[in-house]
Amino acid sequence: MVKLVFHGNVLSPPARTPLWVLKTLGVEHEFKHVAIFTESRSEEYTSKVNVFGQVPALEVDGTFITQSSTIIRYLANEFDKDGIILPSGDHLERAKAEEILDIGATTVRMSTLKAIGPIFAGPKYFGLEKVSEEEEKKLIEEVQATFGKLNTKLGDKPYFTGDKLTVGDVYIFNDLQTTQFILKIDLSDHPQLNAWYETVSKDEIVAELSKEMFDIISQKE
């Protein structure tokens, strides 16, 4: 049995999803909390864990794997023979689910960060000037356009790939959860996506991680 150490932070959407995978599959692991922007940028972390100074990372018997979607695929290949988080066996079904995971980790994340960076993270953590109200409105409209495209992609299905929740749903959920909270926006203009969000939020491990995240946020305030 390999020894796994997960380096992450529940406040980070890309870290919450591999953590959800570890918990959902019941994989034994040690959790190491990494403070974002400080510990994650330290010499110790960047020289040993991730040269890019980001969470998450998974240490597998002393070897470090970074990139949330790579970590998720590793965990699925190693511990999910029954296809609980990603379909196993049928390559097309697997590709459909991995497509959703990649949409979450690339397209959606890039879109939400484009607004979260200048509106929130820049001014709060890096002393950058806040964007104008007009610019903020435009950036939020672009995020809402991404939500609209997700609404279309989802259609009338309960989950993005059909009747079953896969890890891509959780990846997109976690990004949307943080985005809505930080930008103070919601999904009310996107009815299918809104209903899907409610459903995913009821998953036991999603709810557990959400609680953990909001408890930390409320302690900070």
Ligand X SMILES: N[C@@H](CCC(=O)N[C@@H](CS)C(=O)NCC(=O)O)C(=O)O
DSSP H helix total and E strand total for the chain: 10, 4
Residue that has been written with the tokens 């007009």 in this structure: 134
- State which residue, 19 or 190, has the beta carbon closest to ligand X: 19
CB of 90 to ligand X, least distance (A): 26
Query: What count of other Cβ atoms lies within 10 Å of the Cβ of residue 205?
Result: 16
Residue that has been written with the tokens 């390999």 in this structure: 2
- State which residue, 12 or 177, has the beta carbon closest to ligand X: 12
CB of 133 to ligand X, least distance (A): 26
Q: Which of 181, 9, 204 is nearest to 18 (CA)?
A: 9
CB of 99 to ligand X, least distance (A): 16
Please report whether residue 158 would count as binding ligand X according to CB under 6 A: no
Which residues share a beta bridge with 159? Answer: 162
CB of 34 to ligand X, least distance (A): 8
Residue partners of 124: CB distance under 8 A and separation at least 6: none
What is the per-residue binding string for ligand X in 6-45, x denoting contact by CB under 6 A? ------xxx---------------------xx--xx----
Beta strands in the chain (DSSP E): 4-8, 30-33, 57-60, 63-66
What is the per-residue binding string for ligand X in 64-93, x denoting contact by CB under 6 A? ---xx-------------------------
Please report whether residue 179 would count as binding ligand X according to CB under 6 A: no
Q: Report how far residue 57's alpha carbon sits from residue 71's, in angstroms, rounded to the nearest whole number.
A: 8
Q: Report how far residue 124's alpha carbon sits from residue 193's, in angstroms, rounded to the nearest whole number.
A: 30
- State which residue, 46 or 144, has the beta carbon closest to ligand X: 46
Show contacts with ligand X in window 117-156 (CB under 6 A): none
Residue of 4, 19, 55, 86 that binds ligand X (CB under 6 A): 55
Site residues for ligand X per CB under 6 A: 12-14, 36-37, 40-41, 53-56, 67-68, 105
